[in-house]
Amino acid sequence: MSHTDAPPRQPAPPPKSAGDERLLHRSLARRLMGRPELGSVVGAAAVFLFFSIAAEPFLRASSLSTVLYASSTIGIMAVPVALLMIGGEFDLSAGVMVVSSALISSMFSYQMTANTWVGVGVSLLVTLAFGVLNGILLTRTKLPSFIITLGTFFMLTGLNLGFTKLISGTVSTKSIADMEGFDSARALFASHLTIGSVDVQITIVWWIALVAVATWILLRTKVGNWIFAVGGNADAARAVGVPVTRTKIGLYMGVAFAAWISGQHLLFSYDAIQSGDGVGNEFLYIIAAAVGGCLMTGGFGSAFGAAVGAFIFGMTSKGIVYAQWNPDWYKFFLGAMLLLATLLNAWVRKRAEATS
């Protein structure tokens, strides 16, 4: 930016025409560098190339479908978690909330009715209520979201185990496969389509749809503007009339909604649920979002980046299997990838700001 008669920042401005040409060139480069997902796209390309060479079956269409399925199970949650991180908050309860949602659906159907769809509906309402609870606790107490959701994470973990043992007598739920509506619900949450000769899991469709909707919200709606603002500078946002509290509660409800989709997928792909599952997955979602360029301090990131982050993990987890390595190494790769990607993102951002 320069002013009409204030001195510009560069000591000796070049002639007007030459300056404008340079400006255009630089502006394009910077625009690319300024994209939050650039680092993750480069990383994804590197990982893809690596496994294409190291693991012979990796490039087959069926393998790719498996990789995409693995990516989608993380990706569905990584999208709203990314939005939440852009809004400046964490949700450590996201992993167990998926299992809570599945448990509620399964147990309500089993105990109260004979139709799985009733359970699915009740589960949606209760899971959204968890999201609202997280949001209200956060905005009312003004404690860091790390503490709030660490609390609700342990509470949900305990409730999952406690209620399941109380109701079923064991740590897993009873099968609901013979109930009315099971097949139609499975079609929606856990079926697969056949495209050509390749099986495509329906979660991939859910995932792509969520990324598209989240990107639309983030970049082209008022609410998206507010999400960036509450994460970037909540006080400034409040001062110009942005409903900060409502925006944050809405973001937690977004996480809860995705947890509901993931939970129903979990339930209908098997038919019974282990109540102790889900612990630790919240970190996978956060890692996917961070690798995808979401800033840990909020105000910067993208839904597409989080999707690429999830894709990197899908490739890594399945690539290790195709390369016939011991899958015990998977978590080491996760950690290393997080560090590398975050460093790369920080470097890219610094470069982007330096050239502006």
Q: How far is CA 17 from the centre of its chain?
A: 45
CB of 89 to another protein, least distance (A): 16
Interface stretch with another protein, choices 136-144, 221-229, 315-323, 337-345 (CB under 8 A) = 221-229
The 315-334 contact track toward another protein, x by CB under 8 A, reads: --------------------
Tell me how far apart the alpha carbons of residues 201 and 192 are, in angstroms, rounded to a whole number: 4
Residue 221 sits in the site that holds another protein (CB under 8 A): yes
Residue with tokens 């495509």: 200
Is 87 in a helix, a strand, or coil? coil
Helix or strand (DSSP H, E) at 194:
strand 192-195
Residue 170 sits in the site that holds another protein (CB under 8 A): no
Number of alpha carbons in the 13 Å side-chain half-sphere of residue 306:
34
Name which position in 165, 222, 331, 350 contacts another protein (CB under 8 A): 222
Residue 103 sits in the site that holds another protein (CB under 8 A): no
CB of 353 to another protein, least distance (A): 6
Tell me how far apart the alpha carbons of residues 237 and 228 are, in angstroms, rounded to a whole number: 9
Name which position in 236, 336, 339, 346 contacts another protein (CB under 8 A): 236
Tell me how far apart the alpha carbons of residues 15 and 117 are, in angstroms, rounded to a whole number: 70
Binding footprint of another protein, residue count (CB under 8 A): 32
Q: How far is CA 341 from the centre of its chain?
A: 16
The 15-34 contact track toward another protein, x by CB under 8 A, reads: --------x---x---x--x
Nearer residue to another protein within complex by CB, 75 or 299? 299
Name which position in 69, 228, 285, 311 contacts another protein (CB under 8 A): 228
Residue 356 sits in the site that holds another protein (CB under 8 A): yes
Is 15 in a helix, a strand, or coil? coil
Name which position in 58, 110, 300, 304 contacts another protein (CB under 8 A): 300
Question: What phi and psi, each to the nearest 5 degrees, are found at residue 190?
Answer: -145, 30
Question: What phi and psi, each to the nearest 5 degrees, are found at residue 198?
Answer: -110, 135
Residue 11 sits in the site that holds another protein (CB under 8 A): no
Tell me how far apart the alpha carbons of residues 130 and 104 are, in angstroms, rounded to a whole number: 12
Residue 295 sits in the site that holds another protein (CB under 8 A): yes
Nearer residue to another protein within complex by CB, 20 or 183? 20
Is 277 in a helix, a strand, or coil? coil
Q: Report, in angstroms and rounded to the nearest whole number, the Rg of the chain calculated over CA atoms.
A: 23
Binding site for another protein (CB under 8 A): 1-4, 6-7, 23, 27, 31, 34, 216, 220-222, 224-225, 228-229, 232-233, 235-237, 239-242, 295, 299-300, 353, 356
